[in-house]
Structure 1
Amino acid sequence: MEMNDLYKAVRAFNSQIQSAKEAANWFWGVLQGDFNEDQTPSQVIANVGISIAVSTTGVGVIAAWILDLRDFIACVYHIYEDGSKEGSFDFKKVSPILWIGLVIMVIGVIPFLGDVLKGVLRIIYLQFIKLIKTTSKTATRILFRKAIENSMPYIDELLAHEQVKKFLKAKGWVRPYKELARELKLNYKKITSPDQLLTVYDLMLQRADKIFTKSEALLPKNAKTQYQALKTRLKLVRDGFEISLKNNTQQLNELIEELIIALEKHDNALYKAVSGKMSTHYYGKALKGTKAWEEAKKLPFLKKEIKFKALEPNKNFMKNVIEEKIKKGYPEIDEGIVRTFHTINNGIIKGPAKLYRVIDPSSNPSGMFWVTEDVFKQLKNRNDWRDKLAVKVDWSANGQYVTLDIPAGKELKVWRGPAATQPFDESSDLKLFYQGGTEQIVFKPNETTFKVSNRKETNWEYVDNEKQLLTDRVIINLDGSEPRK
């Protein structure tokens, strides 16, 4: 690597750089973690375009290194600061969610993953970190699922980038979400291996060393001392990362599965089974004045009023009501779950009794949301289910259900109450709502005590996975033609 390569690579990201010295100091800022804080998904999209556009050797390689190192260093800084609040760094005091954030980041810089998939992972990482900053008690899996959901519009934007579209065309990727999911599946064992992730972490350190060595002569006199201090921090975090990986392997696998499922769902929601016809399926965001906007008003399970306002729990409620009951053996729930209720009460269900859970083919059958047998028998079809329990189409596609039997003499502690009204689209002024108001039950099945049944069909017009995922979407072909039935 020559200094001229670094200069050209930095220029790709910042056209105001006019000299090798400025390039060296710009990169020095990256190593000090002060370049990443205000990064947006749109910047990630632009940078992926740059990464694809530049050559695969020389400048292109260095540009890719900078892109990786920038996010990596900032992520490590967050972890070091979190573990050093009481003095010296203690990896045990780092939030477990931050370790998962580092995993997502490291996966996103694995060399054999393509630029587009790296971009997708970076966007999800930014959304995940943003959510971490707003909550401290929500379960990691729920946060990750929400981060994926929030990332989808930006991933759509990424795949529509001019350079990315050229890249996808060259690879023959007509359905990029499907191909991204396939890449993850192919590399599944590699990217979830603790050895692989630690190898990539070490690779980041080596790359930082290589660029620093080349640019040291152009940096301030105390740069070497500061860099040695940085390396000490990076190695301390690395040691904690190694232990964290051993404790979180299963959770990591589950998160990757969540992402694969989300990509496949989005693929099915974007492309009908009609050759060459690309469709957009509006199941959340419908732009005002569009055909999708008008069609959304006709969906039978949407109403114009909020009849069952969601609970807005404050700290006192969570501490004095929820946490006190949790100490007495009631299920652990967070503020996000509390807000799905209009009112919430703790209760004990005594056997014999049967509970029901409606799921789609990708759902976890042992999830937390259930209904009693009486409520399940009231649900005549999919629209009824969405209306009475306020189940948004981007939460679950239905098609199947499972049951849980509580034997005579046994009892189950649960949270129960009417489901809160949910907005069709929180990001726009389309004032339509899933009404809710029917009792839902929340608990986490313990299969050592209660056995969850095999999947059964709801027979709510369910045919197969792809059709099921598309049902209830408002389908608009991008070419303006009518969707085929």
Structure 2
Amino acid sequence: MTDEFENALAWFCSAPGDWIESGRKNLAAGAEWVWEVLQGDFNDSASTAQVVTGTIISMIPFVDQICDVRDLVANCKSIKHEPDNTWRWVALVLSLIGLFPGLGSLFKGCFKVAFASMRKVGTASGVTPRLALHADEAVAQLNRFLERPEIVKSLKALKWDNPYKVLAANLRTLAAKVNTGALLRAFNEAQNAAESLLNLVKRWGGSSLAAKADELIAMISGVHRKADRKLAEAVKPVQDFLNQLARRLDIEADVAHRAYLDTVNSHAFKKLAEAEEVAAFGKAKPGWVDTTGKETYQALRKAPSAQPGWPSIKDYHTFHTMHPVTIPPNNKLYRIIDPKSKDNSICWMSESEFKKLKSKDDWRRKFAVWANWNSNGEFITYTVPSGSGLNVWEGITASQRLKNTNYVLEGGAIQIVVDPTHMEKVHISPRQKTGWGYDDLGTDNDLVGVPVQMNNWAE
């Protein structure tokens, strides 16, 4: 066993005592070591730090080959369990993409991080991936990866001044290359590497271990026989995910390099993704969210009858009750917003409801606002101009439950939905701070001079 091979194996688990004590001559112990490393599976509970660290390790020569084999083994095991589940094959495709020729180590590392969430869900029973959510989580993981000192050095060396822009362009190129032929070639490469390592196990190990190695080789071969048809079925979902992720990276590229005038520094305001919010709840649940799964104020299942002159009611599911109301002239409506929110959007509240709020927690709980929807920090008012008044929908806010979790926001406050086209810009107030700060669930937006309370009216 070469020093490079030993060092690579050591990244995954320590050498067995029998191997060390024998002066590295006990091949049976070496076989056990190789066998144990190859049994690695996708860690469903891996933290962002673990995913990022694992990806950096996988960029080391020789280690990356073992990672590829471990991923293939994990994918094949999950496919054997549910061979007709397309998402199991999607997870395999995301692993095989890493073997496409021409990918630099940094590019490959970035997308190993970005694909981690989708690959894990693809190997989980009874779970259908939500592409938008996993694109958000991919960007959240990628942000942490790009902040690593060793990655920052690589970015500078490659002159990637805006890595999101570079990655988005490369991702679209990669998506165009995803086809059954390219995936089968990558599968063949991974299968050959797996058989090479497993043949070492067979040569060095006893008959029992050799039999297990043969079973694993046969399992991989069985998946390969089905791969032509099944990989073809997985190509479209993978391309959809890659293109959606590329679009998310376009947005990150724009935000990272957008100019902010009249500010002391150039940092952009950060907003949580849904996946980041769920992860934060797992570490330290805030008081404004419950874990009962109980929706005290059930959402309307049917929209009320449309009313001429009132807003369309596509957002009725955020209401427990709702009815058409005309707000008289000179009354003020309040809207809690973050620096990226539009002034003229649909969600508002009355002055009396606003004055009941004593904290950010009150607002999130009673108006059922997830942190990934609105990061708050500021508010504006709209004074209804003279005339016939403003036609709105008003009612009790429905409870909100995060899909596939027991996390619930209570609701119960009186909310108002308006038609933004019925509002006039001249009657919007300047932005003011809520006094609640801009941070949420671990994000750090305590930026000197940022954000400026600048109105943001969508024309």
Q: Please, what TM-score do these two structures have when normalized by structure 2?
A: 0.59
Alignment of 1:44-443 (within 5 A): 44-52=51-59, 54=60, 60=61, 62-82=62-82, 91-92=83-84, 95-128=85-118, 131=121, 136=126, 138=128, 140=129, 142=130, 144-190=131-177, 192-214=178-200, 216-273=202-259, 279-284=267-272, 312=293, 342-346=298-302, 382=343, 384-387=345-348, 394=372, 420=398, 437=415
Number of aligned residue pairs: give it. Answer: 356
For 1:104 and 1:6, locate their aligned partners in 2 and report how far apart those are by CA, in whole Å: 26
Kindly state the Cα deviation for residue 248 of structure 1 after the two structures are TM-superposed.
Answer: 3.9
8 A Cα contact 1:36 1:74, kept in partner: no
Percentage identity across paired residues of the two chains: 19
Alignment of 1:7-46 (within 5 A): 7-14=6-13, 18=20, 19=24, 21=27, 24-33=31-40, 40-46=47-53
For 1:474 and 1:271, locate their aligned partners in 2 and report how far apart those are by CA, in whole Å: 20
1:405-436 Cα offsets, whole Å, 9 max, x none, are: xxxxxxxxxxxx98745699xxxxxx999979
One-letter amino acid matched to 1:187: L
Q: Computing the radius of gyration over CA atoms, which structure comes out larger, 1 or 2?
A: 2
8 A Cα contact 1:131 1:147, kept in partner: no
8 A Cα contact 2:318 2:398, kept in partner: no
SS, match of residue 283 in structure 1: coil
Aligned to 1:5: 4
The alpha-carbon distance between structure 1 residues 312 and 34, as it changes in their structure 2 partners (threshold 3 A), is closer
Kindly state the Cα deviation for residue 481 of structure 1 after the two structures are TM-superposed.
Answer: 5.0
8 A Cα contact 1:181 1:260, kept in partner: yes
SS, match of residue 346 in structure 2: helix
Kindly state the Cα deviation for residue 205 of structure 1 after the two structures are TM-superposed.
Answer: 0.3
For 1:152 and 1:483, locate their aligned partners in 2 and report how far apart those are by CA, in whole Å: 23
For 2:141 and 2:134, locate their aligned partners in 1 and report how far apart those are by CA, in whole Å: 11
Aligned to 1:301: none
Structure 2: any 5+ residue segments left out of the alignment? 274-286, 328-332, 336-341, 350-366, 376-394, 403-408, 426-436, 453-459
Aligned to 1:450: none
The alpha-carbon distance between structure 1 residues 26 and 269, as it changes in their structure 2 partners (threshold 3 A), is farther
For 1:231 and 1:458, locate their aligned partners in 2 and report how far apart those are by CA, in whole Å: 67
One-letter amino acid matched to 2:299: T
SS, match of residue 136 in structure 1: coil
For 2:398 and 2:422, locate their aligned partners in 1 and report how far apart those are by CA, in whole Å: 23
Q: Please, what TM-score do these two structures have when normalized by structure 1?
A: 0.57
One-letter amino acid matched to 1:48: T
Alignment RMSD, CA only?
A: 5.1
One-letter amino acid matched to 2:271: Y
Structure 1: any 5+ residue segments left out of the alignment? 55-59, 83-90, 286-303, 314-338, 359-367, 398-416, 425-430, 441-456, 462-472
8 A Cα contact 1:421 1:437, kept in partner: no
For 2:183 and 2:346, locate their aligned partners in 1 and report how far apart those are by CA, in whole Å: 43
For 2:182 and 2:318, locate their aligned partners in 1 and report how far apart those are by CA, in whole Å: 39
The alpha-carbon distance between structure 1 residues 133 and 240, as it changes in their structure 2 partners (threshold 3 A), is closer
For 1:346 and 1:310, locate their aligned partners in 2 and report how far apart those are by CA, in whole Å: 26
